[in-house]
Structure 1
């Protein structure tokens, strides 16, 4: 299979790496800097699980995702990889920061069930494209799109490592005035539920832009759902509004090189 693009450039932003280097040991502190990501599992894990179950009739009770190979891109300390592994999936978590992978491996060791189901690798997405062409049934990229250096290249890499008709799940932050006020000014600078400097508003991604990038790369967007974080309760919920956070489910086309067009923004009630 011919490669669709050159990987001489990188999706990894060195400035972003430096930010997360300082927090690599704090991933599993549920009351610490990553508390919002811990509670996000309450809605993102069921969203991934139920979407995949609705697409297949073959699943085992207790291990509903058994038989699926999932790539968790930008896995951090393994906050999403572990619950997906416990649902029966074979999960590969990749992160360019070696300290994150060390943290993930250490935490995984506490649960023998995860030993054979979850593996971690210090790598960027484009670095595994060559060895992983059409390898994975599912890719999850949760809170990653707003940190990559080249989003279009990132999505093309996702397309290359996904099997035809494979699923891509993305959660990210919209680029609005409200997301700037709530996501940066309040969350980072005032109440400190997110480490200051975590986000750059210029890198936030409007859902319309993300949908266009996905469809121009051969994906069919199946759902775009708004997400809302309540800092008072520390909990997430689904919402009609996509003005701050949102989740996307897209499916890779069966064949390569199919033409696509951008439809009005897709929504799906979850």
Structure 2
């Protein structure tokens, strides 16, 4: 709720070919286009089954998670990431919860790997890494980290800060790019695990800033290895989250700058779980989080009414490949608009 980091993800899906075991090759760009048509048709059937016009929402059709207003806002804050008493103070404090949450769930999946470096040998993608506040501590636990963020100045801050720690030089790197760009370029003939290269994807305090969660979930699945983990921390969409996260935190206490959050972009655990399951994930756990502005500390809670952390596991290789093939085999069902 009070955390300011986000993932700015611009769509850059290039036309490429992927061949999955037992299936013929298909164009990644075509899959995305067919998925948009499928979403449009589903919206028609669910909301207006007997009407003629049905237009895909901007959120579904854009295939881009970028909100330009969010990019500009975080561009202005890019030099303040490592001020532990500044705008990102709550994010620094959140590491007391989110780092063990990620570590312990990964150890449950993979087991201990290296003494003193429990995450050694694992490749983790930090989406919307900002200045590297979460990327660095995961790197110190032994993980090979890639932090991505479309705000170039934030990436510059992250690179500068990590360069002062020799322990991170070989394990942490950053790129000014988006998740969609990374997902697309990995189909260009590289043989290293194909496009499914990461053991885990982390998106902490990210999804509440995105413009298109469908594209986000789709690409997270694409860059993960089968059985890979997705970790999300975000804000629930409740009256309480609006009162505390926006009115109190932004307007009264000014814990974060005014305008940092848009309540309409918040998402409930139920909605997020439904979205992830439709994109090839199985949600393993959801845990409530609570921030105390007086002490500046976070704690776990049984209530998810405000903040929560989620762990999901990828269970399918290409969740929409079969869907796209089905659409392609019956194009007449998806090229038009439903009529009464």
TM-score relative to the length of structure 1 = 0.93
Aligned residues: 259
User: SS at 2:274's partner residue?
Assistant: helix
Give the C-alpha shift of residue 72 in structure 1: 0.1
Aligned to 1:176: 238
SS across alignment from 2:124? strand
What is the CA–CA distance in structure 1 between the aligned matches of 2:293 and 2:112, rounded to whole Å? 38
User: Is the Cα contact below 8 Å between 1:12 and 1:96 reproduced in 2?
Assistant: no
Measure how far apart 1:55 and its partner are. Answer: 1.3
CA distance in 1, matches of 2:63, 2:302: 37
Aligned to 2:285: 223
Which of the numbers 51, 58, 64 marks the counterpart of 2:105?
Answer: 51
**Alignment of structure 1 residues 1-270 onto 2, 5 Å:** 1=18, 2=26, 3=28, 4-6=31-33, 9-132=63-186, 133-257=195-319
Offset at 1:130? 1.9
Whichever of the two has the greater Rg, that structure is 2
For 2:317 and 2:185, how far apart are their aligned partners in 1? 20
Give yes or no for contact 1:11–1:124 (8 Å, CA) kept in 2.
no
Contact preservation (8 Å) 1:28, 1:79: yes
- The 3 A distance-change label for structure 1 pair 180 and 89 is same
| 5+ residue gaps, structure 2 | 1-17, 19-25, 34-60, 187-194, 323-340
RMSD: 1.5
The Cα of 1:9 is off from its aligned counterpart by 3.7
How far does residue 10 in structure 1 lie from its aligned partner after superposition? 1.8
Q: Once the 2 structures are TM-superposed, how far is the Cα of residue 57 of structure 1 from its aligned partner? A: 2.7
Instruction: Using structure 2 for the length normalisation, give the TM-score.
Output: 0.74
Cα shift at 1:58: 4.2
Q: What is the DSSP-based 3-state SS (H/G/I as helix, E as strand, rest coil) of the residue aligned with 1:169?
A: strand
Counterpart Cα distance in 1 of 2:179 and 2:67? 12
State the alpha-carbon separation in 2 of the partners of residues 255 and 131 from structure 1.
17
Could you tell me whether the CA contact under 8 Å between 2:66 and 2:210 is conserved in 1? yes
> Deviation at 1:61?
1.5
Which structure shows the bigger proportion of residues in helix conformation?
2
| CA drift at 1:252 | 0.2
Query: How far off its partner does 1:210 sit?
Result: 0.3
Q: Which has the higher contact order (CA 8 A, sep 6+)?
A: 2
